Structure 1
Amino acid sequence: MAKLTVKDVELTGKKVLVRVDFNVPLKDGVITNDNRITAALPTINYILEQGGRAILFSHLGRVKEAADKAGKSLAPVAKALSEKLGKAVVFTGTTRGAELEAAIDALKDGEILLVENTRFEDIDGKKESKNDPELGKYWASLGDGIFVNDAFGTAHRAHASNVGISANVDKAVAGFLLENEIAYIQEAVEAPVRPFVAILGGSKVSDKIGVIENLLSKADKVIIGGGMTYTFLKAQGIEIGDSLVEADKLDIAKELLAKADGKLILPVDSKEANAFAGYTEIKDTDGDAIDPGFLGLDIGPKSIAKFDAELTGAKTVVWNGPMGVFENPDFQAGTIGVMDSIVKQPGVKSIIGGGDSAAAAINLGYAEKFSWISTGGGASMELLEGKVLPGLASLTEK
């Protein structure tokens, strides 16, 4: 990676500003999944071990007006982080002002402070989300000229807490998590060990047009599953019953199929039901067509076998999007089958691009079997599309 990393700067005695991604799910004030906190620990611990004074910034949910602040404080995160680190985490519950500044000035080497939810600054004019210059400059003034961006999940957005701070410090560097995300995802696409197979699922073709186009030029094969399958099938004149379809994307689907030159691999059967919820009948289709009054909710056994064959021998696999409605046990066989096929390939570099795919791997017990599971669905999608991420572009070049 051509950007400076946290190991390239002197941290001892410095007030080090750090953008982390603590956008964790909360229910009644309790964190239900702390994976993002755990993912940030290597960078935080390194800064503290080097004698730095870590000042952390993160958003939590969306905040548009004062009423949205309810349940969006980072106070529960500060408590969870303290427990994981085994040391106190200072938390003032503020995003600016004398109380915050005094708490930062009181920090000693190896101590840590968490700033309140950066999105609280969006209540009056979206200062955080629109990268307000004054806010970025103010936050940058709280440190000693060093900013560590370790929030891959927001790297595709130009916010005051990443791009804004970067523009006002001496050195803006990547943390270990951001560095690994770029190394695994970007390098897998740009310099893959071949054969390179991409697997794309999810509900909408519209969400992944740019990704499909970019990967068709990079990968040896692009396997398609999930709800967007049926837009591709309908584009070929195949009956899809009541399945999800984007009628305004049929022409684009035809164009993608035409330019794919055989690289685009579609399912050959589906698991269909007579309703999305409250169904009374489930069955596997004979071929790729869906029966009238039914809708496809997962790939079928023939498709699982076909995709297994297509993945045989793969050395690099990038997967983004489940094969079906994996949250329902009746429609998770396709996603499980694809995961089984990926992880059994000898020496494969296997990468999950965040989002629902990551949730599927974690929830179904496959997390430890993959080389890398991204912490940022939107950011990983834009990397797969070949876009430049503002949060990465704003870092200091080596």
Structure 2
Amino acid sequence: MAWNTLDDMDLAGKIVLTRVDINVPMKDGQVTDATRIERIVPTVRAILDMGGKPVLMAHYGRPKGQVVPDMSLEPLVPALEEALGVPVTFARDCIGAPAKTAVGDLQPGQVLLLENTRFHPGEEKNDAKFAASLAALGEVYCNDAFSAAHRAHGSTEGIARLLPACAGRGMAAELGALEQALGQPRRPVVAVVGGAKVSTKLDLLANLVRKVDHLVIGGGMANTFLAAQGIDVGKSLAEHDMTATARDILAKADEASCEIILPSDIVVAREFKAGAENETLAADACPADAMILDAGPQTVERITATFAACKTLIWNGPLGAFEIAPFDTATNAAAARAAALTADGTLISVAGGGDTVSALNKAGAASDFTYISTAGGAFLEWMEGKTLPGVAALST
């Protein structure tokens, strides 16, 4: 799929309606984590440098089509000004007279932030009239909110069909990284999928076994696969009603010549707490009164050897209970090896998903990965092979 970027557009003197994700955590009217705001800076600065006038569209929270004062975007103005280094004005609505007036008053070198798009029911319904009201405010549409690209909303899909459209810097980087990882990857490809439940990642697993050469399954999901092979997993977190599905996935992987890597040794404990007494056993030797909380060193050695033999890595989910030591050992060790191989230039590594980002940050490995996606649902749906409406609307 091909899409236009900012570099393909003539922005001089034009109003550029820019969809961003600035759904940041707030406390007492103050931004507590500005990561998402910082990520839009390259796009907004590029528009300004190209002579355009950026008008930011964004959602905040779930107001469900109603005006909810506590979900106004106005408190974000100071944080935006600090990050962008330019004056930011605010419109008390995203369509209609308040928005039109604010756009008309916008001066070169300034940025305008429109009020929460989800204050209108037409946003989430992708209502044609609402999308047209947004489009009437500008001359070019730029989408820099990959995290919202899996939603066919007025500000992500509807408007893209009404104006010359392009991907912002962040969106283009995300799409490029994902295309490099799953679209036309350097082979062999290995994927790591972890987390608690097989049931939440069925589509992901079914897609990956057809596209990757090796699939590492970790966390609670691995326990379900072990149980599917007739192994007693004691009191471990496992979906015993999903064992038939797990066997089906193993069969599909075999048909596709995709190697499934499950734990061959495990770390078990009788209680789930930091520093709990634990022991390392063979995967088929979990005591009836214990629970599997991490993969063992033999498994880690096999995983890292696979990383070293591959050219591309896609990672979603931890290998164990990474939140507490010592059950973060496997995740930390595997992440460190992936980071080192990436730093050496021998591995392309792309990771995403909430727990994944937290786990890689905790391991101190995130900065060396080729690309870390902060998008949750959109990243997963891309990995599942689904078409993202916000991306499809940008295709040339």
Please state which band the TM-score falls in when normalised by the shorter chain.
over 0.9
Q: Corresponding residue for 1:154?
A: 148
Measure the CA separation in 1 of the matches of 2:327 and 2:29: 32
Deviation at 1:278, TM superposition (A): 8.5
Measure the CA separation in 2 of the matches of 1:183 and 1:278: 39
Pairs within 5 Å for 1:204-223: 204-223=197-216
Deviation string 1:343-374 (CA, Å, 9 cap, x unpaired) is: 22242111112321122223443221111011
Q: Which moved more, 1:172-181 or 1:270-279?
A: 270-279
Structure 1 position 247 matched with structure 2 position 243: no
Deviation string 1:268-310 (CA, Å, 9 cap, x unpaired) is: 2233332345995433334344322222222222222221122
Amino acid at match of 2:143: N
Pairs within 5 Å for 1:272-311: 272-276=268-272, 281-311=277-307
Equivalent pair of 2:228/2:246 in contact (CA under 8 Å): yes
Measure the CA separation in 2 of the matches of 1:365 and 1:77: 30
Q: For 2:171, which of 164, 171, 178 is the aligned residue?
A: 178
Q: Which moved more, 1:175-184 or 1:354-363?
A: 354-363
Amino acid at match of 1:30: Q
Amino acid at match of 1:33: D
Structure 1 position 384 matched with structure 2 position 378: no
Q: Corresponding residue for 1:34?
A: 34
Q: Give aligned pairs, total.
A: 390
Measure the CA separation in 1 of the matches of 2:325 and 2:75: 32
Specify whether residues 59 and 344 from structure 1 end up closer, same or farther in structure 2 by C-alpha distance, changes over 3 A only. Answer: same
Specify whether residues 326 and 26 from structure 1 end up closer, same or farther in structure 2 by C-alpha distance, changes over 3 A only. Answer: farther
Q: Corresponding residue for 2:54?
A: 54
Equivalent pair of 2:99/2:137 in contact (CA under 8 Å): no
Q: Which moved more, 1:325-334 or 1:211-220?
A: 325-334
Deviation string 1:175-202 (CA, Å, 9 cap, x unpaired) is: 1111111111123212111221111111
Deviation string 1:208-255 (CA, Å, 9 cap, x unpaired) is: 222222221221101111111111111111111222222332111001
Unaligned runs of 5+ in 1: none
SS at match of 1:207: helix
Equivalent pair of 2:23/2:36 in contact (CA under 8 Å): yes
Q: Corresponding residue for 1:233?
A: 226
Deviation string 1:18-39 (CA, Å, 9 cap, x unpaired) is: 1111122223333232222122
Structure 1 position 166 matched with structure 2 position 160: yes
Amino acid at match of 2:326: D
Q: Corresponding residue for 1:313?
A: 309
Pairs within 5 Å for 1:261-272: 261=254, 263-272=259-268
Runs of 4+ in structure 1 over 6 Å off = none
Identity of aligned residues (%): 42
Deviation at 1:207, TM superposition (A): 2.1
Q: Corresponding residue for 2:329?
A: 333
SS at match of 2:326: helix
SS at match of 1:284: strand
Equivalent pair of 1:11/1:47 in contact (CA under 8 Å): yes
Equivalent pair of 1:196/1:219 in contact (CA under 8 Å): yes
Root-mean-square deviation (Å): 2.1
Equivalent pair of 1:52/1:111 in contact (CA under 8 Å): no
Q: Which moved more, 1:263-272 or 1:27-36?
A: 27-36
Unaligned runs of 5+ in 2: none
